[in-house]
């Protein structure tokens, strides 16, 4: 976990009208950070009269990293070298800062829900993400037509405010079977496998090795050694009416096609196909496997060692004491 203030060195892609479409931050330096870059923060900070500046001459950066120096030298016409500083954890004020915060989470400098992401949507531009990089949407029809004529396909992979994580950052020790399913801003810990049906939104992710074949909504965090089965859902807070941030503890299993509308603790199982919403009335069993009381699922929030099932003979949702402990298949996680 790092601290503010920090400065990101970014390459911004500009639209024809000069709007910033995205910014890639190959390097972020912290005040009092890593030795290799310990001078950078103070040097760069001295250059900055504002929180975002364009750097016309890369030599001013005093970069010791040759690869990086080479890469930021002689940028293309539609690119700009910028510095973006974050001193306080306040709401987002521009596109560069929005991208910097998403990078901070995906580089794992900050865990999900620790950065202020207010105004994020407002400062992200809806962009066509193509095989030719990010392109502004205005006039895109002409570009499709013109590519067609040259017998080149303009492949538009996505039209979205968020790009794919892997266009910018490859977290170490992960597998991502379909990179279009993980957004920049995802937090993926070593040993995480995101399968084809898995999905990880921004400001969300895994805190350790995990098998993700279901959907991690924005704000949702999954503990180590947990397994989200194929097509399972973690209820999000951005749309659909849910207000409680979901989290999954360690050593948990959400069965295939299950769903979770409450945060759960460690060593819990939700049976395949069962959706536990906060309002579900649940029969709680004791350690002797006797029914104890009926309560709302939301009252079980955060508890450990629960097994949620729907009784297959009478349709009641039950929370029993979980007798099993979950183990990830190690051969799948040596990434």
User: Site residues for a copy of itself, window 252-291 (CB under 8 A)?
Assistant: 253, 255-259, 261, 271-275, 277, 280-283
181 binds a copy of itself per the rule CB under 8 A = yes
Q: How far is CA 70 from CA 34, 74, 177, 194, in A?
A: 21, 8, 31, 33
In angstroms, the CA 309 to CA 154 distance is 48
Site residues for a copy of itself, 43-102, by CB under 8 A, read 67-68, 70-72, 74-76, 78-79
In 3D space, the residue among 160, 170, 20, 166 whose CA is nearest the CA of residue 98 turns out to be 20
In 3D space, the residue among 138, 152, 140, 21 whose CA is nearest the CA of residue 76 turns out to be 21
Judged by beta carbon, residue 52 or residue 176, the one nearer a copy of itself is 176
According to the annotation, is 158 in a ligand binding site?
A: no
User: What's the longest Cα–Cα distance across the chain?
Assistant: 73
According to the annotation, is 149 in a ligand binding site?
A: no
In angstroms, the CA 301 to CA 150 distance is 58
Judged by beta carbon, residue 38 or residue 118, the one nearer a copy of itself is 118
Judged by beta carbon, residue 115 or residue 176, the one nearer a copy of itself is 176
Grouping H, G, I as helix, E, B as strand and the rest as coil, residue 140 is: helix
| Piece in contact with a copy of itself (CB under 8 A), picked from 28-36, 43-51, 90-98, 134-142 | 134-142
How close are the terminal C-alpha atoms of the chain, in Å? 24
Take residue 184 and report the two structure tokens written for it: 């920049």
According to the annotation, is 256 in a ligand binding site?
A: yes
| Piece in contact with a copy of itself (CB under 8 A), picked from 47-55, 96-104, 159-167, 298-306 | 159-167
Take residue 126 and report the two structure tokens written for it: 């809806």
For residue 213, indicate whether it is catalytic.
yes
- Closest approach of Cβ 94 to a copy of itself, in Å? 16
- Closest approach of Cβ 46 to a copy of itself, in Å? 25
In angstroms, the CA 102 to CA 173 distance is 20
Judged by beta carbon, residue 122 or residue 302, the one nearer a copy of itself is 122
Q: Phi and psi dihedrals of 285, rounded to 5? A: -100, 155
State CA 185 to chain mean position distance. Answer: 4
According to the annotation, is 215 in a ligand binding site?
A: yes
Find the catalytic residue in 97, 213, 250, 318.
213
142 binds a copy of itself per the rule CB under 8 A = yes
According to the annotation, is 249 in a ligand binding site?
A: no
Binding residues for succinyl-CoA: 215, 230, 233, 256, 271-272, 279, 296
Binding residues for Mg(2+): 197
- The residues carrying an active-site annotation are 213
């Amino acid at each position: 976990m790092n601290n503010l203030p920090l400065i990101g060195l970014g390459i911004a892609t500009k639209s024809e009208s000069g709007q910033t479409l995205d910014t890639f931050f190959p390097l972020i330096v912290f005040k009092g950070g890593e030795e290799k870059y310990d001078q950078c923060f103070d040097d760069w900070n001295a250059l900055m009269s504002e929180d975002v500046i364009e750097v016309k001459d890369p030599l001013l950066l005093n970069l010791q990293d040759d690869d990086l120096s080479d890469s930021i030298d002689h940028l293309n016409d539609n690119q700009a070298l910028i510095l973006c500083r974050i001193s306080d954890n306040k709401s987002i004020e521009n596109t560069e800062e929005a991208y910097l915060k998403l990078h901070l989470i995906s580089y794992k400098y900050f865990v999900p829900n620790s950065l202020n992401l207010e105004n994020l949507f407002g400062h992200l531009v809806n962009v066509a993400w193509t095989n030719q990089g990010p392109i502004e949407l205005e006039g895109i029809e002409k570009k499709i037509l013109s590519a067609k004529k040259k017998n080149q396909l303009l492949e538009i992979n996505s039209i979205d405010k968020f790009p794919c994580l892997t266009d910018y950052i490859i977290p170490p020790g992960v597998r991502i079977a379909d990179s279009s399913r993980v957004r920049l801003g995802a937090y993926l810990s070593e040993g995480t496998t995101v399968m084809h049906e898995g999905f990880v939104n921004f400001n969300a992710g895994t805190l350790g090795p995990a098998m993700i074949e279901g959907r991690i909504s924005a704000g949702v965090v999954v503990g180590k050694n947990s397994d989200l089965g194929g097509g399972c859902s973690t209820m999000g807070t951005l749309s659909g009416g849910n207000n409680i941030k979901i989290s999954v503890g360690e050593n948990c299993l959400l069965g295939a096609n299950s769903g979770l509308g409450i945060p759960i603790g460690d060593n819990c199982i939700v049976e395949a196909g069962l959706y536990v919403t906060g309002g579900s009335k649940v029969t709680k069993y004791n350690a002797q496997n006797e029914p104890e009381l009926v309560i709302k699922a939301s009252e079980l929030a955060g508890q450990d060692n629960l097994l949620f099932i729907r009784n297959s003979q009478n349709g009641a949702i039950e929370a029993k004491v979980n007798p099993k402990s979950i183990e990830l298949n190690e051969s799948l996680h040596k990434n």
